[in-house]
Chain A
Amino acid sequence: MYYFDHAAATPPSEEVIRTVYEVMKAHYGNPSSLHQPGLEGGKLLRRAREVCAASLGVQPREVIFTSGATESNNLALKGAALQYRSRGKHIITTEIEHPSVYESAKQLETLGFDVTFLPVGHDGTVTAKQVLEAVQPDTILVSVMHVNNETGSIQPIQEIGRALQSTRPKVLFHVDGVQGYGKVPLSLQSCGIDLYSLSAHKIRGPKGVGLLYIKDGVSLFPLLSGGGQERGLRAGTENVPLIVGMAKAVRMAGEHIEARAKQLRHLREQLVSGIQQIPELVLNSPVQDGAPHIVSFSYPGMKAEALLHMLEEAGFMVSTKSACSSKSAEPSRVLLAMGAGEAAATSGIRISFGEEHTAHHIQLLIDVLTSAVSRLKALKGGF
């Protein structure tokens, strides 16, 4: 099997699997218990927090653990909106956010918040100027993803963050960092980021665990109440083995980013030029500037699922749209926002990869894709 769906979930690294297994086996105590096993659970959490914080260049107290990026994004948006509702009711985000941000914003609309969904250009990005122009006196939060999960387009986080800092420092800035971390360098400190979400399973960690960076001085309205874990921001017994496993994944993904990006970029260039050789396909990702591990294209007029299954038959696993929404046959909201027509937006395919892939794998994929398209074309012509 050739697995090309890293943006949906990465194969976990051996080291992470071993860590999760060993910690789960040896440390089953509840970290809130007062006895030795509990104490050790607490120590593991503290060490995991230190490791994650060091990789992000922030303080350990600024990191809280969650069940994944969906929870982190929900907590960032709803937690900030509810906490600062007396300051204002306006939120700015984009039309291409991950559903966990987009739907949270929609939900907040039903609670009386006013949300601006910024449109994107054909390259799938918003500009800092757009964001600044959308800011109102009652704006409390701006949420912009770092790397788009469907197309890999990179948002100008540094420009947006700095523009907000210099003009409206009280407006909170949330960044969904899920697809960017470990692939596209980003400094939380120098970009003026107040809230930053990560998920472990996109960076070779386990599923069901993530984190939210909450800058010192920012408070959030907790969504989960209970035993006061995670400084009262996220109640619930901490999932120690997965959290320690995530710490390892975060640390490893944070190392050698430049080298990893360079390697992936070579593969991406090869894949993009291969796709450009197939006249039926339209590239959705930016040719040059996208994230190094995601390539999206469409076969306008062809059901995306048909192409996906033909590739799967040949042993190649890819996605239509993002994995979360790929079960519906609706056109992709992201591709529509980028100006794609209905036909292109319903036929999007996403290929995403990692360090274990080589130029040889990409060539195999291009070959399989070429023959799949010509077979489908023949079938389509026969209708």
Chain B
Amino acid sequence: MMTYDLLLLRFGEMAIKGKNRRRFEKAAMNHIEALLELYPGASLRQEFGRFYISLGGESAESLIKELKKVFGIASISPVVVTGSELDKIIETAKDFVTRLNLPEGTTFKVNARRVWKGFPHLSNEINKLVSGPLLREIGTLKVDVHEPEVELRVEVREDQTYLFSEIIPGAGGYPLGTNGKAMLLLSGGIDSPVAGWSAMRRGLEIECVHFHSYPFTSKQAEEKVIQLAHVLSTYSGQIKLHLVPFTEVQTLLAKSKQEGLMITLMRRAMLRIATGLAEQHGALALVTGDSLGQVASQTLPSMNVIGRATELPLLRPLIMMDKSEIIELSREIGTYDLSILPYEDCCTLFVPKSPSTNPNLRIVEKIESSSPDLDREIKAAISGTKTLVLHPGEQPVQTGGTGIQEDWF
């Protein structure tokens, strides 16, 4: 096992964002600082446009796992630090490569950078001075300067020299919240959590909105959504979940006896409620898990009619993705196992046998305007909404019941 001293963090797109860069860096630093609270030995510093975390004895492995969830970080390299004397550098390099446990015949090269111009050897000379002893001592290596399997980077600074080789991909995207706030329509399915994650990755702060039809939907279904939002909170440090009572609206819509249009009417009501919540909470867009053609409400004609129920931009991160790609992502971000739990949500209730894939806007609007109580019920749903704030370190607490204590585990 290698014991690393530092983690080097690289940022992607945000680095080229001109005058916004400082703001982006600050957001990323805040996010990382919050994570480091659980790792008291570690500390973050910024130097020449790069971020370093001094590990101070904390486990590189588990910290990297957390950092892979921080948006904006393009890649992470664990670094071993040694003194800036040639013999020390060579010794540490030998030790470093030995511990990588490389299979016979691995190709490698040394790539040195002389940051401190007082060091008596040029970068090119350092390459040779370090790789020579490495080849001699570790017989199984082969040099390949063009396409090496392993590249040992050596950065010589005035007081210290950094050695690293691994480049671990990060989550990429923009730091948390740097692109504003949006409301995510979170069902219990596979798609919407992935849509939320994608939106957060582009620097959006997300608040989740979930519609429940208790007692027609079970507490388990609600619990599942709380868990899903909890997983999303591990990417943002905190997340709000708005639980909207949808039973009355649904009952009212069902009275119109327009079975084929039920889904269209429900989705439009949901967008209206979400828009109301967005106004209350200062969000400027709605995010949905729609994927073109996947179900009746996601055909182009359906999306046209449904989408007109709101004036806010409707962001659909998954719109052009295949289901298999979405499933793959949901496994990666850790929501898949929860999403496939078999509890009904409010959309699976009152589901017509053959929902319309081509609803007529004028008919839909006419049904809505002929129902005088609809606006009132939508307002009631907004004001009856309960909000939970979820944090990654804490198990979400549901109201009522005997309660579960984390110290039992």
Q: Is the CB of B218 within 8 A of A26?
A: no
Q: Does A60 touch B at the CB level, under 8 Å? A: yes
- B337 — which chain A residues lie within 8 A by C-beta? 59-61
Chain B proximity mask over A206-248: 1 for CB below 8 Å, otherwise 0: 0000000000000000000000000000000000000010011
Known: A47-B395, A60-B337. A40 touches B409 (CB 8 A): no
Interface of A is mostly: helix
Q: Is the CB of A37 within 8 A of B402?
A: yes
Chain A proximity mask over B201-232: 1 for CB below 8 Å, otherwise 0: 00000000000000000111001000000000
Query: Measured between alpha carbons, how far is A35 from B218 in the docked complex, in Å?
Result: 9
- B400 — which chain A residues lie within 8 A by C-beta? 36
Q: Does A23 touch B at the CB level, under 8 Å? A: yes
Q: Is the CB of B409 within 8 A of A47?
A: yes
The 4 closest A-B CB pairs, nearest first, are A19-B408, A26-B402, A36-B401, A51-B409
A175-209 with Cβ < 8 A to chain B: none
The smallest beta-carbon distance between A39 and chain B, in angstroms, is 5
B353-409 with Cβ < 8 A to chain A: 395, 400-405, 408-409
The smallest beta-carbon distance between B218 and chain A, in angstroms, is 6
Q: Does A34 touch B at the CB level, under 8 Å? A: yes
Sample 21 A-B pairs with CB under 8 A, ordered by A number: A19-B409, A23-B408, A27-B402, A27-B404, A34-B218, A34-B219, A34-B220, A36-B219, A36-B401, A37-B402, A39-B220, A39-B401, A40-B401, A43-B404, A44-B404, A44-B408, A47-B404, A47-B409, A48-B409, A244-B409, A248-B408
- A247 — which chain B residues lie within 8 A by C-beta? 409
Q: Is the CB of A43 within 8 A of B408?
A: no
Query: Measured between alpha carbons, how far is A34 from B401 in the docked complex, in Å?
Result: 13
Q: Is the CB of B220 within 8 A of A22?
A: no
Residue of B402, B405, B409 with highest tally of chain A CB at under 10 A: B409
Minimal Cβ-Cβ distance residue in B for A46: B227
Q: Does A122 touch B at the CB level, under 8 Å? A: no
Minimal Cβ-Cβ distance residue in B for A19: B408
- A244 — which chain B residues lie within 8 A by C-beta? 408-409
- A42 — which chain B residues lie within 8 A by C-beta? 220
- A23 — which chain B residues lie within 8 A by C-beta? 408
Minimal Cβ-Cβ distance residue in A for B406: A47
Q: Is the CB of A248 within 8 A of B223?
A: no
Q: Report which of A36, A37, A60, A251 forms a contact with B409, defined as CB distance below 8 A.
A: A251
The smallest beta-carbon distance between B78 and chain A, in angstroms, is 19
Q: Is the CB of B223 within 8 A of A43?
A: yes
- B223 — which chain A residues lie within 8 A by C-beta? 39, 43
Minimal Cβ-Cβ distance residue in A for B227: A46
Chain B proximity mask over A3-45: 1 for CB below 8 Å, otherwise 0: 0000000000000000100110011000000111101101110
Residue of B395, B400, B403, B404 with highest tally of chain A CB at under 10 A: B404
Chain A interfacial positions (CB closer than 8 Å to B)? 19, 22-23, 26-27, 34-37, 39-40, 42-44, 47-48, 51, 59-61, 244, 247-248, 251
Minimal Cβ-Cβ distance residue in B for A15: B407
Minimal Cβ-Cβ distance residue in B for A25: B402
- B219 — which chain A residues lie within 8 A by C-beta? 34-36, 39
- A19 — which chain B residues lie within 8 A by C-beta? 408-409
- B220 — which chain A residues lie within 8 A by C-beta? 34, 39, 42
Minimal Cβ-Cβ distance residue in B for A43: B404
Q: Is the CB of A22 within 8 A of B404?
A: no
Given contacts A42-B220, A48-B409, 6 further A-B contacts (CB under 8 A): A27-B402, A34-B219, A36-B401, A37-B401, A43-B223, A61-B337
Query: Measured between alpha carbons, how far is A247 from B405 in the docked complex, in Å?
Result: 13
The smallest beta-carbon distance between A342 and chain B, in angstroms, is 46
Minimal Cβ-Cβ distance residue in B for A35: B219
Q: Is the CB of B409 within 8 A of A248?
A: yes
Residue of B223, B404, B408 with highest tally of chain A CB at under 10 A: B408
- B395 — which chain A residues lie within 8 A by C-beta? 47
Query: Measured between alpha carbons, how far is A37 from B400 in the docked complex, in Å?
Result: 10
The smallest beta-carbon distance between A31 and chain B, in angstroms, is 11
- A27 — which chain B residues lie within 8 A by C-beta? 402, 404
The smallest beta-carbon distance between A380 and chain B, in angstroms, is 52
- B408 — which chain A residues lie within 8 A by C-beta? 19, 22-23, 44, 244, 248
Query: Measured between alpha carbons, how far is A154 from B400 in the docked complex, in Å?
Result: 49
Query: Measured between alpha carbons, how far is A292 from B400 in the docked complex, in Å?
Result: 47
Query: Measured between alpha carbons, how far is A288 from B113 in the docked complex, in Å?
Result: 48
The smallest beta-carbon distance between B363 and chain A, in angstroms, is 38
- B218 — which chain A residues lie within 8 A by C-beta? 34
The smallest beta-carbon distance between B270 and chain A, in angstroms, is 25
Query: Measured between alpha carbons, how far is A27 from B223 in the docked complex, in Å?
Result: 17
Minimal Cβ-Cβ distance residue in B for A29: B402
Query: Measured between alpha carbons, how far is A26 from B401 in the docked complex, in Å?
Result: 10
- A40 — which chain B residues lie within 8 A by C-beta? 401-404
Query: Measured between alpha carbons, how far is A54 from B119 in the docked complex, in Å?
Result: 46
Query: Measured between alpha carbons, how far is A89 from B191 in the docked complex, in Å?
Result: 43
Query: Measured between alpha carbons, how far is A34 from B220 in the docked complex, in Å?
Result: 8
Minimal Cβ-Cβ distance residue in A for B340: A61
The smallest beta-carbon distance between A63 and chain B, in angstroms, is 12
Query: Measured between alpha carbons, how far is A37 from B220 in the docked complex, in Å?
Result: 11
Query: Measured between alpha carbons, how far is A43 from B218 in the docked complex, in Å?
Result: 14
Minimal Cβ-Cβ distance residue in A for B402: A26
- A37 — which chain B residues lie within 8 A by C-beta? 401-402
Query: Measured between alpha carbons, how far is A48 from B395 in the docked complex, in Å?
Result: 12
Minimal Cβ-Cβ distance residue in A for B222: A39
The smallest beta-carbon distance between A288 and chain B, in angstroms, is 23
Query: Measured between alpha carbons, how far is A42 from B223 in the docked complex, in Å?
Result: 10
Query: Measured between alpha carbons, how far is A280 from B193 in the docked complex, in Å?
Result: 69
The smallest beta-carbon distance between B65 and chain A, in angstroms, is 12
Minimal Cβ-Cβ distance residue in A for B336: A61
- B402 — which chain A residues lie within 8 A by C-beta? 26-27, 37, 40
The smallest beta-carbon distance between B327 and chain A, in angstroms, is 15
Query: Measured between alpha carbons, how far is A19 from B219 in the docked complex, in Å?
Result: 25
Query: Measured between alpha carbons, how far is A129 from B79 in the docked complex, in Å?
Result: 39
The smallest beta-carbon distance between A372 and chain B, in angstroms, is 43
The smallest beta-carbon distance between A56 and chain B, in angstroms, is 14
Residue of A43, A61, A244 with highest tally of chain B CB at under 10 A: A43
The smallest beta-carbon distance between B350 and chain A, in angstroms, is 20
Minimal Cβ-Cβ distance residue in B for A52: B409
Query: Measured between alpha carbons, how far is A48 from B405 in the docked complex, in Å?
Result: 12
The smallest beta-carbon distance between B212 and chain A, in angstroms, is 14
Query: Measured between alpha carbons, how far is A36 from B397 in the docked complex, in Å?
Result: 13
Minimal Cβ-Cβ distance residue in B for A60: B337
The smallest beta-carbon distance between B303 and chain A, in angstroms, is 34
The smallest beta-carbon distance between A35 and chain B, in angstroms, is 8
The smallest beta-carbon distance between B214 and chain A, in angstroms, is 12
Minimal Cβ-Cβ distance residue in A for B218: A34
Query: Measured between alpha carbons, how far is A42 from B222 in the docked complex, in Å?
Result: 13
The smallest beta-carbon distance between A250 and chain B, in angstroms, is 10
Residue of B223, B400, B402, B405 with highest tally of chain A CB at under 10 A: B402
Query: Measured between alpha carbons, how far is A247 from B219 in the docked complex, in Å?
Result: 25
Query: Measured between alpha carbons, how far is A43 from B403 in the docked complex, in Å?
Result: 10
